[in-house]
Chain A
Amino acid sequence: MFLINCPFCGEREQSEFKAGGEAHIVRPKQPTELSDDEWAEYLFMRKNIKGIQFERWNHVHGCRKWFNIVRDTSNDQIKAVYKMGEKPPVKQND
């Protein structure tokens, strides 16, 4: 359990939020053109990083807005919080 600094409401308990998984997975522009391998990559394959991970969260029991956080998954420390559409304030490896 940890605290998350919602960019709209301020610091709240993690239990108020819903994790939305890995961030910056771009929805295919031409879904009809995609091969089965590309669909699998988009739908199912995940980085599942041990370390610094970029992810989406939703403040479901608050403002209900989506935003991004950068979190170290090995110890749950949050490195940065940023709004949807903004550039990540920390550089993404790979």
Chain B
Amino acid sequence: MKNNYSLFSLIKNAFSYHENWEKAWKDPEPKKEYDTVIIGGGGHGLATAYYLAKKHNMKNIAVVEKGWIGGGNTGRNTTIIRSNYLWDASAGLYDHALKIWENLSQELNYNVMFSQRGVMNLAHNLQDVRDLKRRTHANRLNGIDAVYLDTEQVKKFCPIINTSPNIRYPVLGGTLQKRAGTARHDAVAWGYARGADQMGVDIIQNCEVKGIKRNGDIVEGIETTKGFIKTKKIGVVAAGHSSVIANMAGLKLPLESKPLQALVSEPVKPIIDTVVMSNAVHAYVSQSDKGELVIGAGTDDYVSYSQKGSHDIVEGTLNAILELYPIFSRMRMLRQWGGIVDICPDASPIISKTTIKGLYFNCGWGTGGFKATPGSGDLFAHTIANDEPHKLNAAFNINRFVSGDLVDEHGAAAVAH
């Protein structure tokens, strides 16, 4: 690597007041033709390009992004990473990602600030207890670390939780995945962009796709705001806008795009050193390295591309947070924002070929795509390079909505939708 980040490079650049750092990626104009074009410069898209170049030896790749890289859901999520999903297919998929996360900073030579601080999921009623115990057992059969905690153990792990039996939805127990945690979302996009750029991938920002050109059932290229780009393979990783791109190719997807909100508080001293999620009352919270509480709210129930959510959703989430953590009653919220998430009927993603040759979709991650970023990129790159799915994403094909072989993960998805 020509500009490896190290202690030496840090000292060297300190002498020039950090004004001469090399650009982490170039800003090229598109060439006339590429072997593969990835639509969407978020974490998943950049990771796909990175693994195409690194593991499948493809050299002539472009990532086209209508805004700036990492400016969509990659920069809008609550950065939680875990793999405690119920079904074997999902466990394989998400734990594949988690294993890559564990060495990602070293691999990319870029600090993604992956912090394995644990993720705790709370149970508030008997059905929650049964479901979470079942999920713990399923996780352990799949080699995923998971333990079930009773109320006292929950209190011990996170002392600020109100475990009084007298609250509206008392805490009856919870699960804990210790290998789970958080990472810095921007760094993931930037690290993959830098890595891909060093291997010759063109990252083209401010370039919106306007159409997909096909000859019968074979793709020929894309129309963009920077002109026509010829290509034989197109990987679409457009999250909330997947249906819009699919429509350009004359395809329909089983997706609905809905606003999902998050918010952060003013920064405070360290108070919560883990991630706590509660499906039943819909509250999840962690603390960023800056000290802000990072709070995820639910999705609105209507289709919208407005990147705004409803106030009543935020109010509901904050009500639940206040009951679980009375200590936060005087915290002030600093910022609130929305992202558009593409939700599949079974709350599982699609990483798949389509009926059109050379057109591949990686979508439907819904409310939980960030955690899968490295695994998703790796498996999608495999699918594009070989024109065949990897065994870990074979179950996540688009045809499951015809065959009925769904991967229902509404219970493990954590965000109500």
Contact = CB atoms under 8 A, between A and B. Distances in A.
B254 A45 contact: yes
Interface in A1-47: 1, 13-15, 18-19, 21-22, 36-37, 39-41, 43-47
A28 to B, nearest CB: 15
Which of B302, B309, B342 has most chain A Cβ within 10 Å? Answer: B302
Interface size on A, as a range, is 20 to 34
Interface string B306-346: 10111110000000000000000000000000000010010
Interface size on B, as a range, is 20 to 34
Interface of A is mostly: mixed
A75 B402 contact: no
B310 A45 contact: no
Nearest to A41: B252
Contacts of B142: none
A53 B312 contact: no
A66 B241 CA distance: 28
Contact of A44 (B243, B257, B345): B345
Given A15-B312, A21-B256, A44 B401 contact: yes
A3 to B, nearest CB: 12
A74 B305 contact: yes
A50 interface: yes
B403 interface: yes
Interface string B43-69: 000000000000000000000000000
A91 B282 CA distance: 39
A67 B311 CA distance: 24
B152 interface: no
Nearest to A1: B310
B392 interface: no
Contact of B402 (A19, A40, A47, A49): A40
Given A40-B401, A47-B243, A18 B301 contact: yes
Contacts of B300: 19
Contacts of A36: 402-404
Nearest to B241: A50
Contacts of A73: 257, 303-306
A14 B313 CA distance: 11
A76 B308 contact: yes
A92 interface: no
B254 A46 contact: yes
B401 A76 contact: no
A47 B252 contact: yes
Which of B244, B247, B305 has most chain A Cβ within 10 Å? Answer: B305
B293 to A, nearest CB: 23
Contact of A55 (B252, B255, B302, B342): B302
Contacts of A13: 312
Contacts of A41: 252
Interface in B391-417: 401-404
Interface in B362-392: none
Interface string B288-308: 000000000000111111101
B158 interface: no
Interface in B245-273: 247, 252-257
B66 to A, nearest CB: 13
5 contacts: A1-B310, A19-B302, A36-B404, A43-B401, A45-B253
Given A36-B402, A47-B243, A76-B304, 8 more contacts: A15-B310, A19-B302, A37-B402, A40-B402, A46-B243, A50-B243, A53-B303, A73-B257
Interface of B: 241, 243-244, 247, 252-257, 300-306, 308-312, 342, 345, 401-404
